[in-house]
Structure 1
């Protein structure tokens, strides 16, 4: 297998996931700053022009971080970060979708339409007027998550899952691009520090 890596939060999610699982896969770097992800030969691997991507031994390519992580979780035995029962897997997927749609998407799009506009304006449709609203949506949902984390170690209770990795990486990214954590969200702040202390957090950065 080969992992197509780059800067940015999406590849980092998979790298942190792999570190937690103890998985080692050869990397090939894709230079996003030069736009190599938007031209050949990378587009033949992943027509969406996004990173990361995982090329399998049979030559097929997986994109989308949740699909890649779920594949790796099934492919490599040991500690599961998705779940070992139908109930656990459903709970992980529920939290992953909540985090992805409600926080990661508006947070990242808000960045692209504002601080990231010089880089993205010629690569995709950008609406700068929507940036502040998108950022506000992400912050509102972080506050919603804060209430749901009360009394819990992780989003799914005592299980650290893909959903936690996804949320941590994007909140860490947000803090680096002008969307810091609100200190009033004490449960999220404490959870973030627990995640940050994990060896996989530093190793995947």
Structure 2
């Protein structure tokens, strides 16, 4: 396998997932800022021009972080980061979907259509008028999640550290860097963020 890597939260999610599993594979950095991901060689690997992309041993390519992580989980089930049973896998997928749709996506587009507009307007369709609303949605859903974690759960799926935690951690860290800092009033998430931040995989 080979990971086509870059800056940004999505590649970091895959790197962190691999680090937790102890999976090592060659990596090739794609220059996201320079637009290398929009050039023909990368578009052959991923027609969406997104990052990251995983090249499999047969020469085929996988993109989309959830698909990549689920593939890696199937190839190397231990330690389980999605789940060891149908029930555990379903729970992790439920939370990963919730976090991706309700927090990560609006946070990302709030940034792309706002602070990063000049960078993205030549690359993707943008809606600058939507940026404030998208940021508001992400902040609101974080408040909702904070209440869900008021029962003292250690991680998103209770006592299990999963892909859901990795995804949320990377996106909150990204938000902190691009003008969407986590509201300290979300005390349960703040405590969770500190716990996850102690894991060696965050350095991946």
Instruction: Please state which band the TM-score falls in when normalised by the shorter chain.
Output: over 0.9
The CA distance in 1 between the partners of 2:110 and 2:77, in whole Å, is 37
Residues 129-168 of structure 1 correspond to what in structure 2 (within 5 A)? Answer: 129-150=129-150, 151-168=152-169
Residues 38-53 of structure 1 correspond to what in structure 2 (within 5 A)? Answer: 38-53=38-53
The CA distance in 2 between the partners of 1:35 and 1:16, in whole Å, is 24
Q: Classify the secondary structure of the residue corresponding to 2:40.
A: coil
Q: Classify the secondary structure of the residue corresponding to 1:41.
A: helix
Residues 1-205 of structure 1 correspond to what in structure 2 (within 5 A)? Answer: 1-150=1-150, 151-201=152-202, 203-204=203-204
Deviation, structure 1 residue 195: 0.8
Deviation, structure 1 residue 77: 3.7
The CA distance in 1 between the partners of 2:77 and 2:25, in whole Å, is 15
The CA distance in 1 between the partners of 2:175 and 2:169, in whole Å, is 10
Length-normalised TM-score, structure 2? 0.98
The CA distance in 2 between the partners of 1:126 and 1:193, in whole Å, is 34
The CA distance in 1 between the partners of 2:88 and 2:76, in whole Å, is 18
For each residue in 1:131-187, what CA deviation from the matched residue of structure 2 results, as whole angstroms up to 9, or x when unmatched?
010000000000000011121000100000000000000000000000001111100
RMSD: 0.6
Length-normalised TM-score, structure 1? 0.98
The CA distance in 2 between the partners of 1:78 and 1:91, in whole Å, is 18
For each residue in 1:26-70, what CA deviation from the matched residue of structure 2 results, as whole angstroms up to 9, or x when unmatched?
001100111010111010010010000000000110000000001
For each residue in 1:12-35, what CA deviation from the matched residue of structure 2 results, as whole angstroms up to 9, or x when unmatched?
000000111111010011001110
The CA distance in 2 between the partners of 1:192 and 1:39, in whole Å, is 36
The CA distance in 1 between the partners of 2:116 and 2:167, in whole Å, is 20
Deviation, structure 1 residue 76: 1.4
For each residue in 1:99-150, what CA deviation from the matched residue of structure 2 results, as whole angstroms up to 9, or x when unmatched?
0000000000000001111110100011111101000000000000001112
> Which residues of structure 2 form unaligned runs of 5+?
none
Q: Classify the secondary structure of the residue corresponding to 1:7.
A: coil
